[in-house]
Amino acid sequence: MTKTNENLKAAFAGESQANRRYLAFARKAEEEGFTQVAKLFKAAAEAETVHALNHLRIIGEIKSTVENLNTAVSGETYEFKEMYPEYIEAAKQEGNKQASWSFDVANQVEQIHASLFSKAIEALKNKKALEKVDYYVCGVCGNTVEDSPPDKCPICGAPKAKFFKSA
Ligand SMILES: [Fe+2]
Ligand SMILES: [Fe+2]
C-alpha cells in the first residue's frame, strides 16, 4: 500500500470518529443549554462526514451495492464472532460492567445486522426487490428491527418509545 493510501485510511478513521464525537458533544451542549455551541458542533460534524466520505471514495472502498453488502456482512461477522467476544471477556475480567454491557448489546445487534444484510444479498441474487419495510432503531442499544418497534426491546429491555424510525 502506498503511503498516501495508508494516510487516506487513517484520515477516514479520524474524520469518522470526529463526526460521532462532535455529535455527542452537540447533544451535551444542548443538555447544558448551549444551543449555538450545539449548532456549531453539528455543522463541524457534518463537515467531518464530507471529509470522511471524500477519503473513502478516493481509497476506492465504495463499490457496487452487492460488494458493499458483502463487505458489511464480513465486518459485522468479524465483530460478533471475534472482536466483541474478546472485548466482553476482557471487560468482565477487569470488572468493567458498563463496557461489558456496551460490548454485549453491540455484539447482539451486529448479528442482527449481518442477517439483515444477508437477506438483502439473497434478494439481489434472486433479482428480487427487497421487501419494502421501515426500520426502527433502539436509541439505547442500537437494536435494528423491521416494520414496527416492539413494546419492549428484546436486547436491552428499553420501552417502545426509545425506538426511532430510520430515515
Ligand atoms: Fe452493525
Ligand atoms: Fe434496545
Identify whether residues 125 and 141 lie together within a single domain: no
* CA–centroid distance, residue 146 to ligand 1 (Å): 15
pTM here is 0.92
Report the pLDDT averaged over residues 90-96: 98
Q: Give the ligand with the smallest distance to the CA of 80.
A: 1
The reported pLDDT for the residue numbered 93 is: 98
Rounded Cα–Cα distance for residues 84 and 106 (Å): 8
Rounded Cα–Cα distance for residues 110 and 17 (Å): 19
* CA–centroid distance, residue 69 to ligand 1 (Å): 12
* CA–centroid distance, residue 1 to ligand 1 (Å): 27
Identify whether residues 72 and 121 lie together within a single domain: yes
CATH of the domain at 160: 2.20.28.10
Query: Which segments of the chain does DSSP mark as H helices, in order?
Result: 3-31, 35-59, 65-78, 84-93, 97-125
Residue with cell 426509545: 162
Range of the domain at 150: 133-167
Residue 127 has pLDDT above 90, yes or no: no
The reported pLDDT for the residue numbered 27 is: 98
For the stretch 113-123, pLDDT in tens is 999 999 999 99
Query: Which of the four pLDDT bands, split at 50, 70 and 90, describes residue 3?
Result: very high
Residue 77: count of CB within 10 angstroms of its CB: 17
The reported pLDDT for the residue numbered 129 is: 83
